[in-house]
Chain A
Amino acid sequence: QQQVKQSPQSLIVQKGGISIINCAYENTAFDYFPWYQQFPGKGPALLIAIRPDVSEKKEGRFTISFNKSAKQFSLHIMDSQPGDSATYFCAASKNDYKLSFGAGTTVTVRA
């Protein structure tokens, strides 16, 4: 049973464009929602994370939007660059413990 559903599976964006990835969760006890970036052959690296007491968090070109009532959160990558080409995973956990991961989104940024 997948606790976090992620879409799209892949997306292609032009350099300078906006990449948007969406996630939905079921467990209302989740209280930590991170996004990870993974390059081939590497472990996932934390990109940005949010807790449910805020609706938006921005760090540089990356923004998380969080909708607690809809149980959804999304990642926006502004001014996408070729170096952003990677696989992105959303995740969720309760009490900073086990992470439930989404299926992943492969982002390709075309120069």
Chain B
Amino acid sequence: GAVVSQHPSRVICKSGTSVKIECRSLDFQATTMFWYRQFPKQSLMLMATSNEGSKATYEQGVEKDKFLINHASLTLSTLTVTSAHPEDSSFYICSARDAQASNQPQHFGDGTRLSIL
């Protein structure tokens, strides 16, 4: 089945550091990828929609200068949390849209646990 790889799975860093998270579709092309944020015991909240070759679309309340998204190829989208602070600590999950698969149009990565000290 279709696989989405997310890397790293866990990162711990100091406040003020910028952190990059990668999301790759391994066996299909994804013109659209989505980035979610999930706090403990809560649901997934969509942060932004990443479109290959164009600017990302951010959900209301999400700072685009804080969460930089790049989707430079059909298999890779990156999320960079700039100048991260403790309140940015969360579980970040990406999904990739497979336009050719009507039975399962989105595939999720295994998430990245970000901890800012």
Chain A residues in the interface with B (C-beta under 8 A)? 32, 36, 41-46, 49, 89, 93, 96-99, 101-104, 106
Q: What's the nearest-Cβ distance from chain B to residue A11, in Å? A: 15
Chain B interface extent, by class: 20 to 34
B43 touches A96 (CB 8 A): no
B54 within 8 A of A: no
B7 within 8 A of A: no
CB contact under 8 A between A43 and B93, given known A49-B103, A96-B102: yes
| Complex alpha-carbon distance, A98 and B51, angstroms | 12
B105 touches A96 (CB 8 A): yes
| Complex alpha-carbon distance, A106 and B6, angstroms | 25
Q: What's the nearest-Cβ distance from chain B to residue A31, in Å? A: 11
B93 touches A44 (CB 8 A): yes
B97 within 8 A of A: yes
Chain B residues in the interface with A (C-beta under 8 A)? 6, 32, 34, 41-46, 49, 93, 95, 97, 99, 102-111, 113
Which residue of the partner chain B has the closest CB to A45?
Answer: B108
B43 touches A102 (CB 8 A): yes
Closest 5 CB pairs of A and B: A96-B105, A43-B108, A43-B110, A43-B111, A101-B43
B93 touches A97 (CB 8 A): no
| Complex alpha-carbon distance, A102 and B43, angstroms | 7
Q: Pick the contact of A42: B45, B103, B110 (CB < 8 A).
A: B110
A41 touches B111 (CB 8 A): yes
CB contact under 8 A between A96 and B6, given known A42-B110, A104-B42: no
Question: Which chain B positions have C-beta within 8 A of A42?
Answer: 110-111
| Complex alpha-carbon distance, A44 and B108, angstroms | 6
| Complex alpha-carbon distance, A46 and B44, angstroms | 14
B49 touches A98 (CB 8 A): yes
Question: Which chain A positions have C-beta within 8 A of B32?
Answer: 97
